[in-house]
Amino acid sequence: MKHWIWALLYCSVLSIVTVTNAATGPSVNAVAAALINTKTGKTLYSKNANAVMAPASTTKIMTAILAIEKGNLEDKIKISSRAAAMPGTRMGLRPGEEQTLRDLLYGLMLSSGNDAATAIAEYVSGAEDRFALLMTSKARELGMKKTTFKNASGLPAVNHYTTANDLALLAGYALKNPVFTEIVQTKVASITNSRSNVTRSLTNHNKLLWQYPYTTGIKTGYTRRAGKCLVASATQNDTTLITVVLKSGTMYNDSINLFDFGFQTTLEKKIQEITINPPVQ
């Protein structure tokens, strides 16, 4: 009798859940995408996930985790003229200014500061090209076989590339670090210019933190070559999912569709397991 009750429960819930699960999976506009469950390590969805792509500022995930592992968060870093002059998105650093590594990491991951990326690279390795070698070495250590880094920011460069699968692998590794996790889920932070004593307000570029209630990070990216990119994480109950969408015209919608699909798929599996092995009363 109990088995019949659990079977009926499974069929009832499954009939509701699978209405939104088309046989082809979620709607994804991105050229390449990946969805993984961090607990099981299983891939729940894949689209051109091994295609070599330009990563844009999702590169900064590797920059951040290496800085956290190699540096001291309270070290004060003097900003070089080269770092302060970096083009593209910036946190507004000035030559000669001093910032802690911790504050530079917030500028890196919230404001997507290319100036912060270069300053961090120079702090860790003395020069950005040497830091890029360290980034690629770390990528190989993590099993990112189709990734090569040439800079710390993700600005366009020859032979600077990755894949959706490799970025998902990197994100899963980085999320194990509590400092990294705290930074990437922060919506707004404030830091103070050591020279002018002026406080800067940094707002996270990742709008998914406001749009999707379970979001816990991670990093946006954009260049003309790479298009719009997003590596994102979300946690519901005891399940954490990571999505990667590269060259997407609708990166937030893509990520939400992937998360919804992933959480529904996980729920279906849990219900099925309960049905097959009902709890003993």
What separation in angstroms does the CA of 34 have from each of 28, 88, 91, 92, 266? 10, 27, 30, 33, 16
3-class DSSP assignment, residue 240: strand
Given the residues 39, 70, 80, 112, select the one marked as catalytic: 112
Given the residues 2, 15, 27, 60, select the one marked as catalytic: 60
Known active-site residue 57 = yes
Taking alpha carbons only, the member of 110, 62, 54 closest to residue 223 is 54
Q: Give the Cα separation of 254 and 64 in Å (integer).
A: 25
Is residue 27 within a helix (H) or strand (E), and if so which, with residue range?
Answer: none
Q: Give the Cα separation of 17 and 39 in Å (integer).
A: 22
Given the residues 27, 39, 42, 57, select the one marked as catalytic: 57
Taking phi over 0 as left and psi of -120 to 50 as alpha, with beta for the rest, 112 belongs to: left
Known active-site residue 12 = no
| Sheet bearing 43-47, strands edge to edge | 43-47, 32-37, 239-246, 227-236, 215-223
Is residue 228 within a helix (H) or strand (E), and if so which, with residue range?
Answer: strand 227-236
Known active-site residue 112 = yes
3-class DSSP assignment, residue 82: helix
What separation in angstroms does the CA of 237 have from each of 113, 169, 214, 241, 263? 33, 22, 9, 11, 10
Strand ranges (DSSP E) for 38-97?
Answer: 43-47, 76-78
Could you list the active site residues?
57, 60, 112
